[in-house]
Amino acid sequence: MQQSPKRARKNKNKDKKKAVEKSMDCRKCGAHLTSDEKAIYMKLVSRTASSFLCMDCLAEALHCERKAIEERIRYYRESGNCVLFR
Ligand SMILES: [Zn+2]
């Protein structure tokens, strides 16, 4: 006697709302983004961005050096004023 396979349960959990995670990768090169990279992107480019660039690609897009962006990040973080950097 064979066990009848369990009926495929409807997996309602699948649709469970979880925090919508927006793309965490650089939209240009696909590199994984740190929260700093997303934050600085929002700060420098668009506060409502839904896709982001990594530091390298952002530097390229802004025609500046990656180092300049790193310094910005440090500046915002140290200033402690920006909610994006905590
Ligand atoms: Zn990139």
pLDDT in tens, 3-30: 656 665 555 444 444 444 555 899 999 9
* Torsions phi, psi for 52 (to 5 deg): -135, 170
Please list all protein residues whose beta carbon sits less than 5 angstroms from ligand 1, which is an ion.
26, 28-29, 31, 54, 57
80: CA distance to ligand 1 center in Å? 26
Task: Please give the model's pTM, rounded to 2 decimal places.
Answer: 0.68
* Torsions phi, psi for 15 (to 5 deg): -90, 0
pLDDT in tens, 51-83: 999 999 999 999 999 999 999 999 998 987 767
* CA distance linking residue 4 with residue 61, whole number of Å: 59
